């Protein structure tokens, strides 16, 4: 995690650990979309079967066919992407799988923060970066990026940069949202395939979320707290994460970096995009968020 997001997550997690204490006792998470107990960051895992994600799915599907709750009167910002097929946000993109190869121009449309663009030559290079631990400080994060990536830059609000990416490359975008236009752009307008819904804290597999590209957005709430998103490549990785002691912030980060493939924090200024695969498992912590399936101009 990088600078601002790392600080926010650590503050929330620190509050959680103060509640749980050294005994490791963990409080349950309310699934009321109007308020979520911040002490649920670790407890949410213990409510799940370590052998399968099916337990959580069955509980959820007993009250609804979908993983999501009623989305009426949702307060969130979707204007930035609904009519613009070039829109892109924080996320991990595998070129040739999630994103078409080619030459692109990035434009930062965020108002307050810079957009970080990182390109890794291969998925192994990316995993070399992600598995590096510790990288809790900006210096450690920068060292891990420099050691494993072949390009990294910051794009400030309303500024642009150009890159050329090939099949097999891995693109990481962080800290903002913007536009991605390239030589293969078609000018696609409306991109929404399904109605958006509220995604509650919990564990989700591809049995609940079909394969595809999703935008996750911040939902306004009294606590002004966002959603921590951890993406695992498969259920085995999640089970390894779930079985690891996470009583401290350091242990929590270590478990995540050792087992997951990507993590991010969705807040009022930073939505994210998740490319959900057949075997993907996603953990949503802290607050509910808004999820909407999309088909973007840059999609493979």
- Residue 234, pLDDT score: 97
Residue 155, token pair as written in the block: 């794009």
Rounded-to-integer distance, Cα 39 and Cα 184, Å: 46
Residue 50, token pair as written in the block: 């370590």
- Residue 63, pLDDT score: 32
Give pLDDT tens digits for 201-254. Answer: 999 999 999 999 999 999 987 778 899 999 999 999 999 999 999 999 999 999
- Residue 193, pLDDT score: 55
Rounded-to-integer distance, Cα 12 and Cα 5, Å: 11
Q: Identify the residue whose tokens are 């349950």.
A: 28
DSSP single-letter state for residue 267: B
**DSSP β-bridge partners for residue 118:** 152, 172
- Residue 221, pLDDT score: 77
- Residue 255, pLDDT score: 97
Helix 235-242 vs helix 249-259: crossing angle, to nearest 10: 160
- Residue 62, pLDDT score: 35
- Residue 98, pLDDT score: 96
- Residue 271's nearest CA partner among 204, 174, 128 is 174
- Residue 43, pLDDT score: 31
- Residue 75, pLDDT score: 74
Rounded-to-integer distance, Cα 202 and Cα 253, Å: 18
The torsion defined by the Cα of 275, 281, 287 and 293, in degrees rounded to 10, comes to: 30
- Residue 65, pLDDT score: 37
Taking the chain (300 residues) in runs of 10, the rounded mean pLDDT of each run is: 46 46 33 32 33 43 41 73 90 96 94 93 98 95 97 96 97 94 64 77 94 94 88 98 96 97 94 97 96 90
């Amino acid at each position: 995690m990088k600078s601002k997001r790392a600080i926010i997550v650590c503050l929330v997690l620190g509050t959680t650990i103060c509640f749980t204490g050294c005994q490791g006792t963990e409080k349950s998470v309310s699934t009321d979309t109007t308020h979520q107990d911040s002490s649920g960051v670790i407890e949410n895992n213990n409510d799940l079967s370590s052998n399968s994600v099916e337990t959580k799915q069955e509980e959820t599907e007993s009250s609804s066919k979908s993983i999501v709750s009623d989305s009426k009167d949702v307060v969130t910002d979707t204007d930035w992407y609904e009519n613009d097929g070039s829109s892109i946000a924080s996320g991990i993109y595998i070129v040739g799988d999630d994103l078409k190869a080619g030459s692109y121009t990035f434009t930062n449309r965020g108002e307050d923060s810079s957009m970080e663009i990182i390109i890794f030559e291969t998925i192994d290079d990316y995993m070399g970066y992600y598995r590096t631990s510790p990288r809790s400080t900006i210096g450690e994060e920068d060292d891990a990026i420099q050691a494993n990536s072949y390009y990294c830059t910051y794009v400030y609000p309303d500024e642009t940069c150009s890159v050329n990416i090939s099949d097999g490359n891995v693109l990481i975008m962080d800290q903002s949202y913007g536009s991605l236009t390239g030589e293969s752009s078609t000018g696609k307008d409306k991109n929404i395939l399904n109605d958006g819904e509220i995604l509650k804290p919990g564990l989700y597999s591809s049995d609940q979320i079909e394969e595809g590209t999703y935008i996750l957005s911040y939902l306004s709430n009294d606590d002004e707290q966002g959603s921590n998103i951890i993406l695992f490549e498969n259920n085995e990785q999640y089970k390894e994460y779930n079985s690891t002691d996470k009583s401290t912030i350091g242990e929590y980060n270590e478990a995540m970096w050792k087992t997951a493939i990507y993590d991010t924090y969705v807040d009022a200024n930073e939505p994210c995009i998740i490319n959900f695969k057949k075997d993907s498992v996603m953990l949503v912590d802290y607050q509910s968020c808004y999820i909407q399936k999309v088909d973007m101009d840059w999609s493979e």
